[in-house]
Chain A
Amino acid sequence: MPEIKELELISNQVRRDIVRMVHAVNSGHPGGSLGCTDFLVALYFEIMKKEPVPFKMDGKGEDLFFLSNGHISPVFYSVLARSGYFDVKELSTFRKLNSRLQGHPTTHEGLPGVRMSSGSLGQGLSVAIGAALAKKLNGDNRIVYSLHGDGELQEGQIWEAAMYAAGKKVDNLISTIDMNGQQIDGSTDNVLPLGNLRAKWEAFGWDVMDMDGANMNNIVATLKKAKEHTGKGKPVMILMKTNMGQGVDFMMGSHKWHGVAPNDEQLAQALAQLPETAGDY
C-alpha cells in the first residue's frame, strides 16, 4: 500500500524533528516521543477527521485527540505542525521563553491543536470521556482518541475513569496505552508491576485490542478496526507495544532516554539514521 510508505516517510521527518527539538534546548523527552511517532502520524495523517485551520476549540464535527502523557510533547508538536495546525518553523521555539510550545502541552498559550493541558499524569482519560459525552449531547458522531503512558496507569484516576467509561457506555472513545515497559526509575516491572493489562481492561468492561506500535501497517489496520468497534456499547482500548527510542538505535529500549537530550555527537549519530524526508524546520 503506497499510503503506508508515505506515512513512514512522515514519521521519519517527525523523528528528526524530535531529536533536533530536544537537542536544541538540552531538555525534553525523546524516548517516549520516538516510540509513539508512528501512532500519532497514522492518527493525524490517516485516521482522524480534522480541521486544523482555523482551529476551533470545540472541535464540533471533528475527531479529537487528547495526549494524557504530556511529556511526549515533542512528537505531539511535530505532528501538529506537520499536519497543518501551525508553521513548522515554530518547532524551533520548543521549551524556550515566550513560546507557545511549552515543556508540556497547554491551552494557556493558545497553540492550535491543543485542547487540554497535560503533564501531571492520569488526567487525560477523564477529560477525553468528558469530550466524548459532550459529542453525544451535541449529536456529533465523531470519535475521541486519547493516549496514555503505561507507567501512567499507576495513577488512581485512570481507574476511576476506566470504570466510568465502561459502566456508562462511553462508546465513542478509543484510548491507547503506550506499552514501552519503561518509566523514569526503570522498567515498569521493577518500579511497580502493571500486571495483566488486557485482563484488567477487559474486567473493567472495555473492548481491548493489541497493536504493534512499530509497524505502520498494523497501526493503520488496528485503528481502522477500532473505529468499527465504536458505537457498540463499550469504550475501546488499544494496548500498543512500543519501543522507547524507536528509530534511533542507541536510544531504543532503555528508560535512560526518557527525559535526556542527546549531545552534539549523539544528535549527528541519530540524524544519520533518520534521513530528511519532508524538509527540516
Chain B
Amino acid sequence: MNYTILDKKDTRSGFGAGLFELGRTNPEVVALCADLTGSLKMDAFQKEFPDRFFQIGIAEANMIGIAAGLTIGGKIPFTGTFANFSTGRVYDQIRQSVAYSGKNVKICASHAGLTLGEDGATHQILEDIGLMKMLPGMTVINPCDYNQTKAATLAIAKHTGPVYLRFGRPVVPNFTPPDQPFIIGKALHLQEGTDVSIFATGHLVWQALEAAKVLKDKGISAEIINIHTIKPLDEAAVLNSLAKTRCAVSAEEHQMNGGLGDSIAQLLARKHPAPIEMVAVKDSFGESGTPEQLMTKYGLDAAHIVLAAEKVMQRKHALIA
C-alpha cells in the first residue's frame, strides 16, 4: 500500500492513549512513573485511575522493583520514564527482579535516541536496545509512529512476559493505519521491492519510505520492511526478503553496536550471507541540537539511507561480478 502522512504526532502520545484505553479495558493494568508523568503522557491515566497509578518519585530502581512485586498479585505494571533511566540506570534491577524472575512488567521508555534534542547526550540514550535485547526472555519493541505505538501498547498488555517498549519525544509523521493489527514479532512489509531490502525501526521508518521514493527515481526498487519488534526478530521476513534482493540496509536511531542492524547482520551471517550497510550512530555520544539537525549530523535520515542503499548495491554487484 501507499503510505501517506495522516497527521503529525509524537509517539509518546500514542503510548499515553494506549495506556488510557487499557485503563478502561483491563482492570489489572497499573502504571508507575518516576516524576515524568507529563513527559510520558500518563496524566490521563493518572487522573482517571488514581488508585492504579503510582507516583514513585525520582527513584527508578525502586520503581522497577515495585513493578516486579505488583505482578505477584496479578497486576500488569507499566513503568514510565525516559529511555535512559528505564534501562542503563536500572539494568541490574531489570535483570534480576524482572527478566530472571520472569515478571510480567512492561518497561515503557520515552525520549529515546537523538530526537530528544536539546537536552543533549546525558539524556539521549543510544544503547538501550542493545542492553534490553541481551536479556534472556525480554521482548524489545520500537514502534514507528503514533498509531503503531498505541497499537503496541495495547498488544503488550495481552502478552505475558517482560517487554521493553521504546518511543520518542518529537512530533513526527503518523502514517500507519489506526486499525493496523500489531502482532509482536511480526515484521510489516510497507513496500515491495527487488533490488535492496531496507529494514527500519522507530523514527527511521518514515525516513526509509522517503528514501524509497528517491531510490525509485534513480531506478532502484527498494523493499521497505518495518521491524517494530527487534526481539524476537522476524527471521523469516528478513530471510525471505534477502532471498529476493540479496543485500540489506538497516536504519535505526541507536548505536550500530547492539542495535537492529547488529541483529540482522548476525542472522545473515548465520543463515544467508549478504552485504549489509547500517544507518545508525557509529560509536559516539549525541549532543544538543534540534532533532532534525541531529538526525542529519549523525547520518540518520532519508538521504543517508539512499547512500547506504546505493553502496550496498555496489557491493552486491561487485560480489556477483
Chain B residue nearest to A118 (CB atoms) is B96
Q: Is B307 an interface residue when CB atoms closer than 8 A count as contact? A: no
Complex-state Cα separation, A120 to B65, whole angstroms: 12
B69:A58 contact, CB within 8 angstroms: no
Q: Is B66 an interface residue when CB atoms closer than 8 A count as contact? A: yes
Pick the interface stretch among A81-89, A155-163, A187-195, A247-255. Answer: A155-163
Complex-state Cα separation, A57 to B71, whole angstroms: 10
Pick the interface stretch among A40-48, A127-135, A175-183. Answer: A127-135
Complex-state Cα separation, A115 to B63, whole angstroms: 18
How far apart are A254's CB and chain B's nearest CB, in angstroms?
29
Q: Which of A108, A116, A164 contacts B68 (CB 8 A)?
A: A116
Chain A residue nearest to B34 (CB atoms) is A160
A107:B69 contact, CB within 8 angstroms: no
Binary contact track A110-136/B, C-beta < 8 Å → 1, others 0: 000001111110111111111111110
Q: Is A98 an interface residue when CB atoms closer than 8 A count as contact? A: no
B73:A117 contact, CB within 8 angstroms: no
Complex-state Cα separation, A16 to B7, whole angstroms: 70
Q: Is B93 an interface residue when CB atoms closer than 8 A count as contact? A: yes
B101:A106 contact, CB within 8 angstroms: yes
A117:B96 contact, CB within 8 angstroms: yes
A131:B72 contact, CB within 8 angstroms: yes
A131:B73 contact, CB within 8 angstroms: yes
Complex interface: chain B residues within 8 A of A161 (CB): 59, 62, 65-66
Chain A residue nearest to B61 (CB atoms) is A157
Pick the interface stretch among B49-57, B123-131, B260-268. Answer: B49-57
Complex-state Cα separation, A59 to B97, whole angstroms: 17
Question: Known: A59-B72, A134-B72, A134-B73. Contact between A157 and B93, CB under 8 A?
Answer: yes
**Dominant secondary structure of chain B at its interface with chain A:** helix
Complex interface: chain A residues within 8 A of B66 (CB): 126-127, 129-130, 133, 161, 164
Complex interface: chain A residues within 8 A of B61 (CB): 122-123, 126, 156-157, 160
Residue among A106, A118, A123, A140 having the largest count of chain B Cβ atoms under 10 Å: A123
How far apart are B131's CB and chain A's nearest CB, in angstroms?
16
Residue among B65, B66, B69, B101 having the largest count of chain A Cβ atoms under 10 Å: B69
Q: Is A198 an interface residue when CB atoms closer than 8 A count as contact? A: no
Chain A residue nearest to B62 (CB atoms) is A160
Q: Is A64 an interface residue when CB atoms closer than 8 A count as contact? A: yes
Complex interface: chain A residues within 8 A of B56 (CB): 164
B101:A128 contact, CB within 8 angstroms: no
Q: Of residues 48 to 94 in B, which have CB atoms within 8 Å of A's CB atoms?
A: 51-52, 54, 56-57, 59, 61-75, 77, 92-93
B59:A160 contact, CB within 8 angstroms: yes
Complex interface: chain B residues within 8 A of A117 (CB): 96-97, 100-101
A130:B57 contact, CB within 8 angstroms: no
Residue among B59, B65, B74, B95 having the largest count of chain A Cβ atoms under 10 Å: B65
B102:A108 contact, CB within 8 angstroms: yes
Complex interface: chain A residues within 8 A of B68 (CB): 116, 126-127, 130
Complex-state Cα separation, A22 to B99, whole angstroms: 28
Chain A residue nearest to B97 (CB atoms) is A123
Complex-state Cα separation, A149 to B30, whole angstroms: 30
Binary contact track A133-172/B, C-beta < 8 Å → 1, others 0: 1110110100000000000000011001101100110000
Chain A residue nearest to B51 (CB atoms) is A137
User: Chain A interface residue count: which class?
Assistant: 35 or more
Complex-state Cα separation, A164 to B54, whole angstroms: 10
Complex-state Cα separation, A58 to B100, whole angstroms: 17
Question: Known: A108-B100, A160-B62, A161-B65. Contact between A130 and B72, CB under 8 A?
Answer: yes
Complex-state Cα separation, A157 to B97, whole angstroms: 13
Complex interface: chain A residues within 8 A of B96 (CB): 117-120, 123
Q: Is A60 an interface residue when CB atoms closer than 8 A count as contact? A: yes
Chain B residue nearest to A138 (CB atoms) is B73
B100:A135 contact, CB within 8 angstroms: no
How far apart are A213's CB and chain B's nearest CB, in angstroms?
25
Complex-state Cα separation, A115 to B101, whole angstroms: 8
Complex interface: chain A residues within 8 A of B71 (CB): 130, 134
How far apart are A20's CB and chain B's nearest CB, in angstroms?
28
How far apart are A198's CB and chain B's nearest CB, in angstroms?
22
How far apart are B89's CB and chain A's nearest CB, in angstroms?
11
Q: Of residues 154 to 186 in B, which have CB atoms within 8 Å of A's CB atoms?
A: none
Complex-state Cα separation, A138 to B67, whole angstroms: 15
How far apart are B104's CB and chain A's nearest CB, in angstroms?
11
A58:B73 contact, CB within 8 angstroms: yes
Chain A residue nearest to B77 (CB atoms) is A130
Residue among B72, B96, B101 having the largest count of chain A Cβ atoms under 10 Å: B72
Complex interface: chain A residues within 8 A of B100 (CB): 106-108, 117
Chain B residue nearest to A125 (CB atoms) is B65
Q: Which residues of B contact A (CB under 8 A)?
A: 30, 51-52, 54, 56-57, 59, 61-75, 77, 92-93, 95-97, 100-102
8 residue pairs, one from A and one from B, having the closest CB atoms? A130-B69, A126-B65, A134-B73, A160-B59, A160-B62, A130-B66, A127-B69, A131-B69
If A126-B65, A138-B74 are given as contacts, then 6 extra A-B residue pairs at C-beta distance below 8 Å, sorted by A number, are: A60-B74, A120-B92, A140-B73, A157-B93, A160-B61, A164-B66
A-B residue pairs in contact (CB < 8 Å), sample of 19? A58-B74, A59-B72, A116-B68, A117-B96, A117-B101, A123-B96, A123-B97, A126-B63, A126-B66, A126-B93, A131-B70, A133-B54, A133-B66, A133-B73, A134-B71, A134-B72, A134-B75, A161-B65, A164-B57
